[in-house]
Amino acid sequence: MAAALLEPPPTFLNFNRHHHPHHHHTSFPRTSHSLKLQKNLPSCLPASITPQTQEQEPAALPEPETGSVPDRSRDRRRVVKVAWEKLLRWSRSWRSRNQTPDVLERTNKVVVLGGGSFGTAMASHVASRKPDLQVHMLLRDPLICQSVNDHHCNCKYFPKHVLPNNVIATTDAKTALFGADYCLHAVPVQFSSLFLEGIAEYVDPGLPFISLSKGLELNTLRMMSQIIPQALKNPRQPFVALSGPSFALELMNKLPTAMVVASKDKRLANSAQQLLASSHLRISTSSAYAQLVTSDSCSDVTGVEIAGALKNVLAIAAGIVEGMNLGNNSMAALVAQGCSEIRWLATKMGAKPATITGLSGTGDIMLTCFVNLSRNRTVGVRLGSGEKLDDILSSMNQVAEGVSTAGAVIALAQKYKVKMPVLTAVARIIDNELTPKKAVLELMNLPQVEEV
């Protein structure tokens, strides 16, 4: 069962709410130190242990006694302990009130489309949650297929990681899709439409698709929520977007990770949450958070998808700054500007600002822009160091979606009349119409305007 600790706690966790002015459980010496502490105490501290401020300040304040510092230290630790215990009680209470049928228990087969690093990591993750669950990977490469079936590893991406025995690989779409309860789509965006059209006849109209792919289709500017139903010729194909800061290698190593699912069908989003969430993978639902910050109860699929696509382009820009050794000030300024540009475009497209500042937005941006495992950042670092794009791409064994997404992002910006100087500069560099050095000079010479 999934947890929901990433959602803002309900109002009953506002500890000041139950304060009664006549309840004085703890008394504090009226010293200059305690008054300063009192003024700086956050409002979220329990009222029962917050110094009372209604009393009239005494005329003379005594000097602090020798034992007052340890006393205050113990009180502070007690405040933290009480707050933590309240949080754990809220967690247990939430779980007991939100008991739902176990989706994993009722699921017999999951199919994963694509055998890249992230598709493999998610196949391994789902398979490890239930030993008798059939997890079929539909692959194109017969060598990887044989590696998975004979040696229980993906010889191309994770040769040293052992996959669960219930992960089965095949190149036959009919075999992979027959009887599947859920489908995890991990095919790169630019190849998804053609791939899906080729297997459409074997896809059940009610099969839920959980998209792991991030990006925009270059010529059509479509997101996966548009590509999948149109390629399958079924506008009602159930769809869930999964996004957030998540490197495949760390998932394979079972390191703590948090992601977000979004769907216009709230029940389907909850089912995907229950299917995927585990002790090391937290899954939040976009719809649950949206209901707390806006009156619209519909999941923010657009926000989750557009943030996941645009962050790849920004990561290339961050890599260029690193490759040119422009320093930390430049990196911080560029990423902040890029976050604003993503927010401008996403909100124009109907996304909610809360989504852009959440896991699938800011969370994913931080991971992709600042960590060396990022493929898109690596492309940027090498561009900033003076390498040619063709040489960079030919040496990589994985797809850097930001390269193909950059042009689509600028087309969207023009469509929605949004100025995006940083992301536009990346597209110009990728098209070999601007050098990284020239791009930096032009960006620094833009008009000094008010921050928005």
Tell me which residue of 394, 366, 363 sits closest to 379, measured CA to CA.
394
Please check whether residues 94 and 162 belong to one and the same domain.
no
Q: Check if the beta carbon of residue 383 is closer than 8 Å to that of residue 392.
A: yes
Please check whether residues 178 and 242 belong to one and the same domain.
yes
Amino acid found at 184: L
Domain residues for the domain of 93 are 1-18+30-48+71-99
SS3 of residue 158 by DSSP: strand
Domain boundary among 255, 270, 293: 293
Helix axes 436-444, 301-323, angle to 10 degrees: 110
Give the model's pLDDT for residue 133.
97
Please check whether residues 122 and 267 belong to one and the same domain.
yes
Please check whether residues 323 and 243 belong to one and the same domain.
no
**Model pLDDT for residues 244-258, shown as the tens digit of each residue:** 999 999 999 999 999
**Model pLDDT for residues 64-116, shown as the tens digit of each residue:** 555 577 778 888 888 899 999 998 888 888 777 766 668 999 999 999 999 99
Q: Check if the beta carbon of residue 405 is closer than 8 Å to that of residue 379.
A: no
Question: Cα–Cα distance between 367 and 215 in angstroms, integer?
Answer: 16
In a domain, 452, yes or no: no
Query: Which range among 13-27, 236-250, 319-333, 385-399 shows the weakest confidence by mean pLDDT?
Result: 13-27
| Greatest mean pLDDT range, 18-27, 297-306, 335-344, 405-414 | 335-344
pLDDT category of residue 18 using cuts at 50, 70 and 90: very low
Indicate the number of domains in the chain. 3
In a domain, 61, yes or no: no
Strands 167-170 and 281-285, sheet pairing: unpaired
The CA-atom distances, in angstroms, between 413 and each of 315, 348, 376 are 18, 9, 20
Of 264, 311, 415, 417, the catalytic one is 311
Query: Which range among 25-39, 140-154, 270-284 shows the weakest confidence by mean pLDDT?
Result: 25-39
SS3 of residue 315 by DSSP: helix
Domain boundary among 293, 316, 347: 293
Amino acid found at 411: A
Average pLDDT, the chain: 85
Please check whether residues 241 and 108 belong to one and the same domain.
yes
What count of Cα atoms within 13 Å lies in the side-chain half-sphere of residue 141? Answer: 12
Give residues with Cβ within 8 angstroms of 40, minimum separation 6.
Answer: none
The CA-based angle 102-105-106, given to 5 degrees, is: 95
Please check whether residues 183 and 318 belong to one and the same domain.
no
**pTM surpassing 0.85?**
no
What DSSP element (H or E) covers 129? helix 117-129
Please check whether residues 344 and 232 belong to one and the same domain.
no
**Model pLDDT for residues 347-373, shown as the tens digit of each residue:** 999 999 999 999 999 999 999 999 999
Tell me which residue of 139, 118, 116, 111 sits closest to 308, measured CA to CA.
118
In a domain, 62, yes or no: no
- The mean pLDDT value for 130-144 works out to 96
In a domain, 430, yes or no: yes
In a domain, 174, yes or no: yes
User: How is residue 298 written in tokens?
Assistant: 């519909």
Give the model's pLDDT for residue 446.
87
The CA-atom distances, in angstroms, between 122 and each of 211, 236, 247 are 11, 25, 11
pLDDT beyond 50 at 52 = no
Beta strands in 257-351 (DSSP E): 257-262, 281-285
Give the model's pLDDT for residue 65.
54
Question: Could you tell me the CATH number of the domain that includes residue 342?
Answer: 1.10.1040.10
- Please indicate whether residue 311 is annotated as part of the active site: yes
pLDDT beyond 50 at 53 = no
Please check whether residues 115 and 40 belong to one and the same domain.
no
Query: Which range among 80-94, 105-119, 130-144, 166-180 shows the weakest confidence by mean pLDDT?
Result: 80-94
- The mean pLDDT value for 390-400 works out to 88
Please check whether residues 142 and 240 belong to one and the same domain.
yes
What DSSP element (H or E) covers 319? helix 301-323
Give the model's pLDDT for residue 66.
53
**Model pLDDT for residues 408-447, shown as the tens digit of each residue:** 988 999 999 999 999 999 999 999 999 999 999 999 998 8
Please check whether residues 391 and 406 belong to one and the same domain.
yes
In a domain, 389, yes or no: yes
Question: Could you tell me the CATH number of the domain that includes residue 220?
Answer: 3.40.50.720
Please check whether residues 280 and 200 belong to one and the same domain.
yes
Domain boundary among 293, 325, 349: 293
Bridge-partner residues for 158, per DSSP? 154
Please check whether residues 275 and 333 belong to one and the same domain.
no
In a domain, 449, yes or no: no
Give residues with Cβ within 8 angstroms of 142, minimum separation 6.
Answer: 171
Percent of the chain with pLDDT strictly greater than 90: 69
In a domain, 250, yes or no: yes
- The mean pLDDT value for 12-21 works out to 42
